[in-house]
Amino acid sequence: MSRMGDVLAGFHAAWEFESDSVLIRYERGIRTPKLFQVLAERRVPLEAISGVTLTPGRRGTVVLRAELRPGADPLLEAAAGQLKEGCDPYRLVLPAERETLAEYYADELRAQLKGDAEAAERYLVAAPEAPRQFKAYDAKASFDGKTVNFRWFWTGASSAKWKAGDQSFPVAELAGVEWRSPEVFEGHLRLLRRDGAAAPAQADQDPAAVVFGLGYGPVHESLPFAAAVLDAVRQSGAPAVPSGAARRDPADIAERIRHLGELHQAGLVTDEEFSAKKAELLAEL
């Protein structure tokens, strides 16, 4: 492969090539996506990578991207395909004039891969470390590595959550997490119980969930939190349930589509965003 320690720098990140991994270091500049700044760096073992692509980008750029095996990264597992392109931690955007150099590194990297696209049996990329916390709309969520705690805010929590009281969930009782991005409409983080207990369809009525939107529980805070919990669940020995695995109640889907339609009519969501998000919701049925 390329010489160990070779570095390919792009916008917002640089890839350092090592004998058994690629170390991705993210910039801390004001234009760098906040998620990258929070992640700081990611060491990606070669066994976690199934392929490498190099494609034309926008405005005179090319994009080098590492494609990870399913189940290799708890962050991507928690995101369940909801990350916007600009927040994909495995895309390296470079000026088009560096295409030849990028192609060289892409070829060198491909030569070291086994081409294994099967799901990984364990997480190969380290999860964001605990402790973690973030402020949702209706609660403060905290995780110390062993227990998830929800402390309700009287200004945002529903009466159902107030009646249930503040919540603590030992990792040993969890089967996984369900994270919904707050980018367009309400997001939430729902803890999936190992005992399979039925949960209310609406996250704002579920004591095992916190809800958030713009300004509350943004992606760069809530997603690393979800990934850290998911990793802890996997390490506890329980078969982790990915964020997108749960089938949704049709009434819940209908309500979310209705709200999305209101945002669309108000001009807060573009035609393309409305169509894309509606399709995503219908696919969950």
* Residue-wise pLDDT tens digits, 101-116: 999 999 999 999 987 7
pLDDT for position 242: 52
pLDDT for the residue 213:
85
Whole-number pLDDT of residue 116: 79
Look at residue 3 in the predicted model and tell me its pLDDT.
55
Residue 203: helix, strand or coil by DSSP?
helix
> In this structure, how many other beta carbons lie within 10 angstroms of the beta carbon of residue 117?
12
7: left (phi over 0), alpha (psi -120 to 50) or beta: beta
Give the pTM. 0.82
How many degrees, rounded to 5, is the angle at CA 25 between CA 121 and CA 38?
A: 80
Beta strands in 153-268, from DSSP E residues, in sequence order: 167-170, 174-180, 187-193, 209-212
Whole-number pLDDT of residue 200: 78
Residue ranges in the chain modelled with pLDDT below 50: 244-247
Q: Residue 183: what pLDDT?
A: 81
Give the residue among 117, 257, 237, 233 at the shortest CA–CA distance from 178.
233
Q: How far apart are CA 3 and CA 65, in angstroms?
A: 20
pLDDT value, residue 191: 96
| Beta-ladder partners of 241 | 176
Q: Considering only CA atoms, which of 16, 23, 67 is closest in space to residue 43?
A: 23
Contacts of 276 (CB under 8 A, 6+ apart): none
- List pLDDT tens digits, range 2-36: 555 799 999 999 999 999 999 999 998 888 999 99
